[in-house]
Each structure stands twice: as C-alpha cells, then as structure tokens.
Amino acid sequence: MARPQVTVIGTREMPVDALHPHPNNPNHGDIDTLSESLARFGQYRAIVVWHPSNTILAGHHVWRAAKLRGWETVRVELVDCDDDTATALMLADNRIAELGPGIDPGELLAVLNTDIDLAGTGYTDEDIDALIEKLTPPDPDDDHSGSDDGKRDSGIGVRVSCSSNDERDDLLVELRRRGYDAEAV
C-alpha cells in the first residue's frame, strides 16, 4: 500500500494573521453565513494549513469568517507535503463534497421542520418554503394540458436514470406539473 503524500504534523492554535489563503483557491463561499455559524457553534473543525508556509489548504472561508469576527487565533491541522500535492489537496477539498448524491430534499425538510433554531445553519424559513413547494406534487386539476379531459393515458411508461437525487426530484416535480403520473423507483 502506498504511503499518503501528506504528513500530518499536528493540531494547534495559530494566530489568524499568521495564516494566508492559497493563491489558487477557486472556491468563493458565503463568509457572512459562516460568521454567523462561528458565533453560534464556534470552530468545530480545524483549518488545514501547509507547513511551513502557513498557507491554508482547506478552510479558507472559516478563516475569513474568523477574521471578520475579530478572532485572534484559530485551530489548525498542520500538514507537510510538496507543492503539487498541496494544490491537489486544496482542489480535492473543494471538489469531493460536490461529487456525492447531494442532500436529500425530503430528509432535509424532515429535519428543518422540527423546532430547532436555524440561526447559524445557513437555512432560512424561505428555504423551508421552497423545499415544501419542490416536494409538493401539483394538483392534477390545475393543469389540463395533456388531453381534452385533463387526464393522460397511463398505459405507456418510461424509465429515466438520473445522476442524483436532486435531479430525480426536480424531474419528478416537472413531470407532475405537466400532468404525468410520475413516481420515484
């Protein structure tokens, strides 16, 4: 088995002003929302910092939010690696989270529809309303575009493969909006 190309040195507190962002980081996050999250929850995840240059490889936006809040120190995980590996790690951190099937809207709505305080989560009441609208099948009496009597012939079927749960849910909503009897399989 090949050894990892990154050596973890350890976790420690470092001055916010001693760190600097990776110059090629393509990710631009919502610093204000992260700042609200830091105010409520604190820093629950270390920023990954390339030693000895103190370049941030993962956690750029947490660092920026901490600066915005006036924090003097942040918790970091120091790592050592070569230049190319440092850039690859930064890119991997930005990309890998995007590759999964994503957040299941139904499961998310079930959690958001509880009495939890949404402060610092990035979710709003408007997000909940949008999820409800997305997941609510349209009233079949609202759209009669399929035929003269407003009903479609249900004797013919089609199976569609989607690349994610979100894509599937969006397609189901659109098909139902058009009056089709569609369901997830």
pLDDT tens, position by position, 119-172: 999 999 898 899 888 888 877 666 545 555 555 555 677 788 888 877 777 787
Looking at the structure, tell me whether residues 37 and 73 fall in a common domain. Answer: yes
Q: Which residues contact 158 (CB under 8 A, 6 or more apart)?
A: none
Residue-wise pLDDT tens digits, 23-64: 999 998 899 999 999 999 999 999 999 999 999 999 999 999
Identify the pLDDT of residue 82.
Answer: 96
If asked whether residues 11 and 47 sit together in one domain, one would say yes
Token pair, residue 141, equals 């009496």
Query: Do 6 and 49 contact (CB within 8 A), yes or no?
Result: no
Domain that holds residue 120: 105-177
Mark whether 127 and 173 lie in a shared domain. yes
**69 plus 149 within the same structural domain:** no
Q: Are residue 62 and residue 81 in the same domain, yes or no?
A: yes
Q: At what angle do helices 105-112 and 125-135 cross, to 10 degrees?
A: 140
Return the amino acid letter for 178.
R
Q: What is the CATH number of the domain that holds 70?
A: 3.90.1530.10
Among 31, 65, 99, identify where a domain stops: 99
Do 183 and 137 contact (CB within 8 A), yes or no?
no
- Give the start-end residues of each E strand in the chain: 7-15, 20-21, 47-50, 55-58, 73-80
Q: Looking at the structure, do residues 130 and 87 belong to the same domain, yes or no?
A: no
Q: Are residues 84 and 129 in the same domain?
A: no
Which of 99, 123, 151 is where one domain is finished? Answer: 99
Which domain-ending residue is among 64, 81, 99?
Answer: 99
Number of separate domains in the chain: 2
Asked whether residue 162 is assigned to any structural domain, the reply reads yes
- Whether 2 is in a domain gets the answer no
**Same domain flag for 112 and 39:** no
Evaluate if pTM is beyond 0.75: no
| Per-position b or e across 126-163, b if 16+ CB within 10 A of its CB | eeeeebeeeeeeeeeeeeeeeeeeeeeeeeeeeeeeee
Residue 2, judged by CB atoms within 10 A of its CB (0-12, 13-18, 19+), counts as: exposed
> Are 56 and 111 part of one and the same domain?
no
